[in-house]
């Protein structure tokens, strides 16, 4: 398994992969080639973007896209998108990718990683096993239009 920083040349393949993962269970979302490419392109265009891709001869197996921001005297990384191929989950690929991301961020002086995910899902379980916790200080709030 090769884990490396993503490049602009990866965007089309990552978008196809992203849609394939999130259009399947348990997410059952409705990503198109265009909407997933726009989503990941927007992520990549964010200042201080850092994306990582895990892959092998079979292609992309996992991706992590996010960016860091300064918060007072610290840097905080916002993990916007993280996914593992549906047929490769349970192989440790996601764990290796999140550990590689963590090591890279520590090396870059990042102090915290934040992410959003659906409650009571395998994703929440994964993040908790990777050392994430439900923040007692922060909440997600939304307003529909």
Instruction: Please report whether residue 125 resides in a domain.
Output: yes
CATH number at residue 83: 3.40.630.30
User: Percent of the chain having pLDDT more than 70?
Assistant: 100
Look up the domain containing 88 and give its range: 2-129
Instruction: Please report whether residue 104 resides in a domain.
Output: yes
Instruction: Please report whether residue 141 resides in a domain.
Output: no
pLDDT tens-place string over residues 85-104: 999 999 999 999 999 999 99
Lookup: tokens for 121: 């899902």
Instruction: Please report whether residue 11 resides in a domain.
Output: yes
Neighbours of 21 (CB within 10 A): 23
* Distance between CA atoms of residues 61 and 83, nearest Å: 8
Structure confidence at residue 142 (pLDDT) = 93
Contacts of residue 18, defined as CB under 8 A and 6 or more positions apart, other chains included, come to: 31, 36, 39, 40, 63, 81, 83
Query: Cis omega before residue 26 (within 30°)?
Result: yes
The answer to whether residues 16 and 23 touch, using CB atoms and an 8 Å cutoff, is no
Structure confidence at residue 42 (pLDDT) = 98
Instruction: Please report whether residue 12 resides in a domain.
Output: yes
pTM of the model: 0.95
Structure confidence at residue 100 (pLDDT) = 98
Q: How many domains does the chain have?
A: 1
Confidence of residue 20 (pLDDT cuts 50, 70, 90): very high
């Amino acid at each position: 398994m090769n884990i490396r920083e993503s490049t602009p040349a990866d965007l089309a393949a990552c978008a196809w992969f992203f849609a394939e993962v999130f259009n399947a269970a348990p997410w059952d979302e409705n990503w198109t080639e265009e909407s997933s490419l726009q989503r990941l392109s927007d992520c990549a265009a964010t200042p201080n973007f850092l994306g990582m891709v895990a892959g092998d001869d079979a292609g992309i197996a996992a991706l992590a896209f996010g960016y860091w921001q300064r918060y007072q005297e610290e840097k905080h990384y916002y993990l916007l998108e993280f996914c593992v191929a549906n047929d490769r989950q349970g192989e440790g690929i996601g764990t290796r990718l999140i550990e590689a991301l963590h090591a890279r961020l520590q090396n870059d002086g990042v102090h915290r990683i934040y992410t959003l995910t659906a409650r009571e899902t395998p994703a929440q379980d994964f993040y908790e096993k990777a050392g994430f916790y439900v923040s007692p200080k922060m909440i997600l709030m939304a307003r529909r239009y």
